[in-house]
Structure 1
Amino acid sequence: MFILSIFGNLYRNLRRSSPGWNAIFSFLIAFSLFTNCMGIGEVIWAVNCGGDAHTDIHGIRYQEDKHSVGVSSDYGKSLMIQRVVPQDQILYQTERYNMNSFGYEIPLSKDGDYVLVLKFSEVWFTQPNQKVFDVVLNGEHVVVHELDIFGKVGRGAAHDEIVPFQIRNGKLKISGETSDIVDGNIIVDFVKGELDNPKINAIEEEEEEEEDQVNDSKQKPSRRPSGPKVKDPYSTDDTSTMLLPVFVAVGAFIPVLFCLCKL
């Protein structure tokens, strides 16, 4: 899902260094779009923090934010958010912030591998080191330390923090650490530091499909529905047959990089 952001940086470097950048970048875009379609996760919960419900370009349904803690704001609507398609700018234009630490409860369906996507955009400050805060998962695990959104991407630009973790036997496992799950929920906290207020623009939780479920896709084409009731953008008809063109694309990608280094 996030490969295009990597190729965006390659695009800028290629444009400056090589007259053949256009053909190379076209290949990279085709490759990234193909691999993006290979995702086999399922979004089980998503919220547009501080804003209304929204369905993004992947068909992911972000629910309306009904959190009672903190302040909801749509000040970001005065900006054109960079690094995101126009349809989904709203996910980075609305936000929830608080003068103290605050958090969201995120439901978990069962044991499995998960990815938490935290969406941020700085819409107020115009310099780094003015809004800095931590993100803590399940009350114990610091998953983002001293986040300075402006320091990373500037003002009015989308920035995602990706947090993979596992749930096994009622326990959360992340980066070699373990903590207990209570009442089938985990909490993601945005912890106030010394510099201004913590905030969040949108949250998405994805459950990765287990390998045995992928292998049984022919026998079990229908997937268990959960979370927002929209068409699953990550489902595939036959993942086993789609792997071959991936290997072909990767094989073509390696010599392109080799030639690029010679330019």
Structure 2
Amino acid sequence: MASLKRSLGKNSKSLTICLTLFALISQSIGIGEVIWAVNAGGEAHTDVHGIVYEADPLEQDKVGISSDYGKTLMIGRVNPQDQILYQTERYHMSNFGYEIPIKGSGDFTLVLKFCEVWFTSPNKKVFDVALNGEHTVVHELDIFSKVGRGVAHDEIIPFSVRNGKLKVNGETSTIIDQKISLDFIKGDADNPKVNAVFVMKGTIDDIPKLPPLPGTETQRDFDDEEEEVEEIDQQKPKKRKPSGPKVKDPYAADDTSSILLPVFVAVGAFFPLLFCLCKL
């Protein structure tokens, strides 16, 4: 009995380790190599996909202002475990930014995470995002206008690095000291901000994406299906129902007259013929 318990104990521990490893591997399936990730305005966090976000380095440098006001809201469109990525943020009353370390060449994808937790109408917070000091990769971002208040929103920017050159949106610039600057540029409406950010080596197809907003992709697919059904229905010949009460066939009354017509013709011809015979 004791040996059986020991055996079950060992198997149970092995099973737990296997399940843990399986969970970590399954969370990372389809995810490229993340080379840099930051939870802006917050602490370190590992999301459901296994991406490890470091604590915000700008907190020690006293750049801008960190805020966790978003914790007063339940963030829509995101797994509950990862709401923290959209509940904390860093903003600045001027321009601010980070330095992204880049090693090697290849295709990369920048993912910027945002959530409007304060304003309740559009055109209250509008700003730009630039890469390497030369390329505007997000122009006049209005988070509320995109998704509303308390809803996660990601901006996804693919770029490539070849021979020390950054190429994004068809533009090229030189990378200095293997670092790319990521800048949030103040506009006329309030202050620039970011909730979290990561850079992955790979293409857009390799990154995890937020589910579609209600009434967008899913609703459009449903609407397209309805339009296809409607087009098919229009192509089919339709049986028209007569309006008004059902009546007898108006031509049914002509049946008797059509039958008697030859009789009348024969009688009409008989009398002239009889008159002629009498004359003879």
Normalising by structure 1, report the TM-score. Answer: 0.66
AA in 2 matched with 1:58? H
Find the counterpart in structure 2 of residue 46 from structure 1: 37
Which runs of structure 2 are paired with 1:79-118 in the superposition (5 Å)?
Answer: 79-118=73-112
Which structure shows the higher helix fraction? 2
Find the counterpart in structure 1 of residue 194 from structure 2: 200
Q: In structure 2, list runs of 5 or more residues that go unmatched.
A: 1-26, 209-221, 230-280
Find the counterpart in structure 1 of residue 134 from structure 2: 140
d(CA) in 2 for partners of 1:260, 1:52: 47
Find the counterpart in structure 2 of residue 16 from structure 1: none
Give the secondary structure class of the aligned counterpart of 2:41.
Answer: coil
Cα–Cα, structure 1 residues 260 and 206, in superposed 2: closer, same or farther, change >3 Å?
A: farther
Task: Provide, for residues 81-121 of structure 1, a one-character-per-residue CA deviation record: whole Å limited to 9, x for no partner.
Answer: 00101000000000000000000101111111000000000
Q: 2:157 pairs with 156, 163, 166, which one?
A: 163
AA in 2 matched with 1:45? W
Find the counterpart in structure 1 of residue 228 from structure 2: 262
AA in 1 matched with 2:83? Q
Give the secondary structure class of the aligned counterpart of 1:262.
Answer: helix
AA in 2 matched with 1:127? S
2:38–2:56 CA contact under 8 A, matched in 1: yes
d(CA) in 2 for partners of 1:40, 1:148: 28
2:100–2:180 CA contact under 8 A, matched in 1: yes
AA in 1 matched with 2:191? N
Give the secondary structure class of the aligned counterpart of 1:96.
Answer: strand
Residue 173 of structure 1 pairs with residue 149 of structure 2: no
Find the counterpart in structure 2 of residue 3 from structure 1: none
d(CA) in 1 for partners of 2:163, 2:223: 43
The CA deviation at 1:258 is 8.4
d(CA) in 1 for partners of 2:43, 2:100: 18
d(CA) in 2 for partners of 1:98, 1:136: 15
Give the secondary structure class of the aligned counterpart of 1:57.
Answer: coil
Q: Which has the higher contact order (CA 8 A, sep 6+)?
A: 1
When the two structures are aligned, how many residues end up with a matched partner? 184
Cα–Cα, structure 1 residues 178 and 126, in superposed 2: closer, same or farther, change >3 Å?
A: same
Cα–Cα, structure 1 residues 159 and 59, in superposed 2: closer, same or farther, change >3 Å?
A: same
Residue 73 of structure 1 pairs with residue 67 of structure 2: yes
d(CA) in 1 for partners of 2:224, 2:46: 40
Give the secondary structure class of the aligned counterpart of 2:118.
Answer: coil
AA in 2 matched with 1:192? K
Cα–Cα, structure 1 residues 71 and 258, in superposed 2: closer, same or farther, change >3 Å?
A: closer
d(CA) in 1 for partners of 2:96, 2:52: 23
Cα–Cα, structure 1 residues 73 and 40, in superposed 2: closer, same or farther, change >3 Å?
A: closer
Normalising by structure 2, report the TM-score. Answer: 0.62
2:106–2:161 CA contact under 8 A, matched in 1: yes
Find the counterpart in structure 2 of residue 61 from structure 1: 52
Task: Provide, for residues 25-53 of structure 1, a one-character-per-residue CA deviation record: whole Å limited to 9, x for no partner.
Answer: xxxxxxxxxxx986352111100000000
2:28–2:50 CA contact under 8 A, matched in 1: no
d(CA) in 2 for partners of 1:261, 1:38: 36
RMSD: 2.2
AA in 1 matched with 2:193? K
Q: In structure 1, list runs of 5 or more residues that go unmatched.
A: 1-35, 210-232, 235-255
